[in-house]
Amino acid sequence: MDVVSFGETMIRLSPPNNLCLEQTHQLDVNVGGSELNVAVGVSRLGLESRWVSRLPNNSLGRMIRNKAREQGVDTSHIVWSDTDRCGLYFVEYGASPRSSSVLYDRADSAISKIKRGDVDWNKALAGARVFFVSGITPALSDSAAEVTMDALQAAKKAGCEVVCDLNYRARLWTGEKAREVQTPMMEYVDILSTTEEDTERVFGITAENYSEVAKILVDKFGFKAVTITLRTNLTVLTNKWTAICYADGKVYDDREYFLELVDRVGGGDNYTGGFIYGYLTTGDWEKAVQYGNANSALKQTIPGDLNWATLADVEKLVKGGSGLRIAR
């Protein structure tokens, strides 16, 4: 087992063809959530991954489990509930100047009612090299935060490296609450994957540029590495994307991708997934950033939160390819 993650995956419903949610008569069905997105990301590229969560034992919960399995992610440590509901969210695709938007309906989802002891973390993490969790999981409920802390401690005990994405969600908690809950968690984190914006909202850290932010984070929390993604919103349908990593006192960067966005949701998570893959397979921070960027850039051209790119697709970009020509 290479990577274990813990968090919520929701049923994701999106109107087709740029329709507004209010006007639509059909919804495309996908699933998504930061920690599963990461687990799928590394699984697609060839590593073994496991995703831990709590789901209702109904058609929607099983659909989420199935989609994880479809991508090769181990689901044997999911906790099943006979009574709770499945979190949902609605994604509406915009076009300039109409923003894309997300409407969450996740309150009281099964994972928000997870309790200490529901997961046997020693088993779930046995043999894992990396444990990943985002700041969303502890934001779901107090008990979810407790289980997150248990998982972090078990991960350290199991010898995992811990990767964390702050993933601040203003709908779930305030910046103050996020800081209060997450600060003690940072002690267990080895690699932080984040954005300048989240860093400011959670830890109040700002600086002249994002390399500087990364350095401050490393100094403050003692992380082994901090990687920060940078999205430039050219228009609603075209973006630029790149990232850096600060580690060993150095900044590692990469080319900037021009993106024709099909679905930007999951872009950050797939950066992290690619980064973990690159890190685990090469041990080279620069490669990690390159794999993260390529994996994220491809995902943003694919409908749904989950990535469907292959290792070959990613490596074509890592080697400098452009995708401009048709592949026959």
Looking at residues 81 to 120 of the shown chain, list those that interact with a copy of itself (rule: CB under 8 A). 85-86, 88, 90, 92, 94-105, 107-108
Question: 97 preceded by cis ω (within 30°)?
Answer: yes
- Contacts with a copy of itself by CB under 8 A: the residue count is 79
Site string for a copy of itself, 255-274 (x = CB under 8 A): --xxxxxx-xx---------
State the nearest-atom distance from the C-beta of 310 to a copy of itself, in Å.
8
Stretch that binds a copy of itself, among 133-141, 209-217, 273-281, 296-304 (CB under 8 A): 296-304
Of 111-119, 138-146, 281-289, 308-316: span binding a copy of itself (CB under 8 A): 308-316
Q: Are 288 and 282 in contact (CB under 8 A)?
A: yes
Distance separating alpha carbons of residues 33 and 73, to the nearest angstrom: 14
Contact between 23 and a copy of itself by CB under 8 A: the answer reads yes
**Residue range at the interface with a copy of itself (CB under 8 A); choices 23-31, 128-136, 174-182, 183-191:** 23-31
User: Which one, 126 or 262, has the nearer CB to a copy of itself?
Assistant: 262
Burial letters 81-105, b for 16+ CB under 10 A, else e:
beebbbbebbbbbeeeeeebeeeee
Task: Compute φ and ψ for 109, nearest 5 degrees.
Answer: -70, 165
From the list 74, 198, 269, 305, the catalytic residue is: 269
**Residue range at the interface with a copy of itself (CB under 8 A); choices 13-21, 124-132, 183-191, 210-218:** 13-21
Applying CB under 8 A, does 126 fall inside the site for a copy of itself?
no
Mark whether 269 is an active-site residue.
yes
For residue 134, list its beta bridge partners.
Answer: 165
For the purposes of burial, counting CB atoms within 10 Å of the CB of 1, is it exposed (0-12), middle (13-18) or buried (19 or more)?
A: middle
Rounded least distance, CB 226 to a copy of itself, Å: 23
CB of 56 to a copy of itself, least distance (A): 9
Using CB under 8 A as the binding rule, the residues of this chain from 157 to 196 that contact a copy of itself are 169-171
List b or e across 256-292, with b for residues whose CB sees 16 or more CB atoms inside 10 angstroms: ebebebebbbbbbbbbbbbbbbbbbbeeebebbbbbb
Secondary structure class of 156 (helix, strand, coil): helix
- Report the residue from 1, 63, 149, 207 that binds a copy of itself according to the rule CB under 8 A: 63
d(C-alpha 182, C-alpha 269), whole Å: 19
Burial of 205 (0-12, 13-18, 19+ CB in 10 A): middle
Catalytic sites, residue numbers: 269
